[in-house]
């Protein structure tokens, strides 16, 4: 039962990265791709009805982690206290900037919130990537299953690392480039004209760095955590995941060159999902590995709650997910099509 919940948490995190990832990417591009006030209104209109709903998956993932694996929740939220507070403030600033930008028709007001939107979106992407890299690398778990990490130490991967080191920086930069590419493809799908063309050009510029950073991250992961390959060696079918990563990246390049924007966006979504699933396969059954002593890993068996609670929880989780999926189907169906700020900013 614990293994099922491991993958349920993973599915919700994948959903969050794919869905909230594109509107974070739109935020990063907000100041660079959109050149006029009307174009910036279009970028905001492209995510307007869905950005806050997309964050449901982050809350659901955190809630499920708390319910199914309370020890991991307590340990990670304690050890990552500083970056979690930073992420919380960035989420607040990002939401405030989206909601308040259009309240006053004053250039300095709108410019301030445009900058705040781009700044918070970019830093969120970096911190999310660094957070995942911290989990893959491992943390200095003590005998009580708790740990503490400063923001940085000597930038090296060792028994006493910081949240930021050379490996987690690669993860943060990769996340920034990947989500920005995802956002550019989404803008190409939802907009038209000059804004759409600039979004397409941005994707073409970012594809090369994205490919290089993906290869760098995979090589770096095998270097600092070679045991992550053990599950792949035990189950060779799992090697289809990195093959899928390469194919999805090639799909982004091919479809974007053909201006098949929807297919390119879906290929990028597949890339993000496969990268996350690949990390989950490499970590399994550990949810929070120890950097120095594998015997201290917080695994499924060590961290899970009682079997009866998991059985009852699966019923309520299924009911809640049906409601959430129904909402998303309706919201995205109503919002389909290109945005048009002259007709309210919504798709049709």
Task: Note the pLDDT tens digit of each residue in 236-254.
Answer: 999 999 999 999 999 999 9
- Tell me, yes or no, whether 28 lies in a domain: yes
- Tell me, yes or no, whether 144 lies in a domain: yes
- Tell me, yes or no, whether 250 lies in a domain: yes
pLDDT at res. 2: 81
Q: What is the CB-side half-sphere exposure of residue 213 using CA atoms within 13 A?
A: 22
pLDDT in tens, 103-148: 898 999 999 999 999 999 999 999 999 999 999 999 999 989 999 8
Distance of CA 162 to the CA centre of its chain: 21
pLDDT at res. 347: 42
User: Domain range for residue 201?
Assistant: 2-343
Instruction: Over range 271-298, report the average pLDDT.
Output: 94
- Tell me, yes or no, whether 274 lies in a domain: yes
Distance of alpha carbon 183 from alpha carbon 179, whole angstroms: 6
Helices (H) and strands (E) in the chain, counts: 14, 2
- Tell me, yes or no, whether 297 lies in a domain: yes
- Tell me, yes or no, whether 276 lies in a domain: yes
What CATH number has the domain bearing residue 175?
1.20.1630.10
- Tell me, yes or no, whether 348 lies in a domain: no
Distance of alpha carbon 99 from alpha carbon 61, whole angstroms: 25
Total domain count for the chain? 1
Q: State the pTM of this model.
A: 0.94
Tokens, residue 168 = 């987690």
Distance of alpha carbon 328 from alpha carbon 348, whole angstroms: 16
């Amino acid at each position: 039962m614990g293994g099922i919940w491991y993958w349920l948490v993973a599915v919700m995190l994948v959903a969050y990265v794919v869905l909230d990832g594109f509107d974070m990417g739109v935020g990063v591009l907000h100041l660079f791709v959109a050149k006029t006030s009307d174009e910036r209104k279009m970028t905001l209109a492209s995510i307007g009805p869905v950005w806050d709903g997309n964050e449901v998956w982050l809350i659901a993932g955190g809630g499920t982690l708390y319910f199914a694996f309370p020890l991991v929740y307590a340990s990670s939220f304690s050890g990552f206290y500083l970056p979690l507070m930073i992420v919380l403030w960035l989420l607040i600033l990002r939401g405030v900037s989206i909601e308040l930008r259009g309240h006053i028709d004053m250039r300095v007001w709108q410019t301030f919130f445009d900058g705040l939107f781009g700044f918070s979106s970019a830093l969120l992407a970096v911190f999310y990537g660094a957070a995942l890299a911290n989990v893959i690398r491992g943390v200095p778990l003590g005998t009580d299953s708790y740990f503490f990490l400063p923001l940085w130490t000597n930038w090296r991967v060792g028994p006493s690392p910081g949240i930021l080191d050379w490996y987690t920086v690669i993860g943060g930069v990769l996340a920034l480039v990947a989500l920005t590419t995802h956002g550019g493809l989404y803008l190409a799908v939802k907009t038209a004209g000059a804004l759409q063309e600039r979004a397409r050009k941005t994707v073409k510029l970012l594809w090369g760095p994205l490919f290089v950073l993906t290869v760098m991250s995979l090589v770096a992961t095998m270097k600092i955590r070679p045991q992550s390959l053990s599950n792949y060696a035990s189950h060779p079918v799992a090697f289809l995941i990195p093959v899928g990563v390469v194919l999805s990246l090639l799909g982004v390049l091919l479809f974007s060159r053909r201006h098949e924007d929807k297919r390119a966006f879906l290929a990028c979504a597949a890339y993000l999902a496969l990268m996350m699933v690949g990390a989950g396969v490499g970590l399994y059954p550990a949810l929070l590995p120890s950097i120095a002593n594998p015997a201290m890993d917080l695994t499924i068996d060590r961290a899970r709650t009682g079997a009866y609670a998991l059985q009852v929880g699966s019923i309520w989780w299924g009911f809640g997910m049906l409601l959430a999926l129904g909402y998303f189907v309706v919201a995205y169906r109503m919002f389909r099509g290109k945005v048009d700020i002259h007709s309210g900013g919504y798709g049709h």
